[in-house]
Chain A
Amino acid sequence: MKKLLSVQQLSKFFGEQLACDDIGFDLYEGEVLAIVGESGSGKTTLLRCLAGLLPPNHGRILYHGKDGRQVDIVLASEAARRNLLRTEWGFVHQDARDGLRMGVSAGANIGERLMAIGDRHYGHIRSSAEQWLGRVDIPISRIDDSPWTYSGGMRQRLQISRNLVTAPRLMFMDEPTGGLDVSVQARLLDLMRGLVRDLGLAVILVTHDLAVARLLSSRMMVMQNGRVVEQGLTDQILEDPQQPYSQLLVSSVLPV
Chain B
Amino acid sequence: MSSASYNFAYLSEQTKRMIRRALLKAIAIPGYQVPFASREMPMPYGWGTGGVQVTAAILVPEDVLKVIDQGADDTTNAVSLRSFFVKTAGIATTEATAEATVIQTRHRIPEAPLTENQILVFQVPIPEPLRFLEPRETETRKMHALEEYGVMHVKLYEDIAKLGQVATTYAYPAKVAGRYVFDPSPIPKFDNPKLDHNPALQLFGAGREKRVYAIPPYTSVQSLDFEDHPFEIQKWDHTCALCGSDDSFLDEIITDDKGGHMFVCSDTDHCRATQEQK
On whether A and B touch (CB less than 8 Å), the answer reads yes
Interface of A toward B, CB cutoff 8 Å: 78-79, 82-83, 86, 101, 103-105, 107-108, 111-113, 115-117, 120-123, 125-126, 143-144
User: A108, B226: Cβ atoms under 8 Å?
Assistant: no
A120→B157 CA distance, assembly (Å): 10
User: A105, B161: Cβ atoms under 8 Å?
Assistant: yes
Question: What is the minimal beta-carbon distance from B231 to any residue of chain A, in angstroms?
Answer: 12
Question: What is the minimal beta-carbon distance from B163 to any residue of chain A, in angstroms?
Answer: 11
Which secondary structure characterizes the binding site on chain B? helix
From known contacts A112-B151, A144-B162, infer whether A121 and B146 are also in contact, taking CB-CB under 8 Å: no
Besides A108-B154, A120-B226, 14 new A-B residue pairs in contact (Cβ under 8 A), listed by A number: A78-B142, A104-B133, A107-B161, A108-B157, A108-B158, A111-B157, A115-B150, A116-B151, A120-B225, A120-B227, A121-B226, A122-B157, A125-B157, A126-B157
Q: Across the interface, which residues of B come within 8 angstroms of A86, CB to CB?
A: 150
Chain B minimum-CB-distance residue to A118: B150
Which secondary structure characterizes the binding site on chain A? helix
Size category of the binding interface on chain B = 20 to 34
Q: Across the interface, which residues of B come within 8 angstroms of A103, CB to CB?
A: 133
The 9 nearest A-B residue pairs measured at CB: A116-B150, A115-B153, A122-B226, A115-B150, A79-B146, A121-B227, A108-B154, A120-B227, A108-B157
Is B148 among interface residues, defined by CB-CB distance under 8 A?
yes
Is B62 among interface residues, defined by CB-CB distance under 8 A?
no
A105→B150 CA distance, assembly (Å): 15
User: A105, B158: Cβ atoms under 8 Å?
Assistant: yes
Which of A101, A113, A120, A144 lies at the interface centre, i.e. has the most chain B CB atoms within 10 A of its CB? Answer: A120
From known contacts A105-B161, A122-B226, A122-B228, infer whether A112 and B146 are also in contact, taking CB-CB under 8 Å: no
Q: Across the interface, which residues of A come within 8 angstroms of B157, CB to CB?
A: 107-108, 111, 115, 122, 125-126
A175→B153 CA distance, assembly (Å): 31
Q: Across the interface, which residues of A come within 8 angstroms of B227, CB to CB?
A: 120-122
* 9 A-B pairs whose Cβ atoms sit less than 8 Å apart in the complex: A78-B142, A103-B133, A107-B157, A112-B154, A113-B150, A115-B154, A120-B153, A122-B157, A122-B228
A79→B161 CA distance, assembly (Å): 30
Chain A minimum-CB-distance residue to B156: A122
Question: What is the minimal beta-carbon distance from A123 to any residue of chain B, in angstroms?
Answer: 5
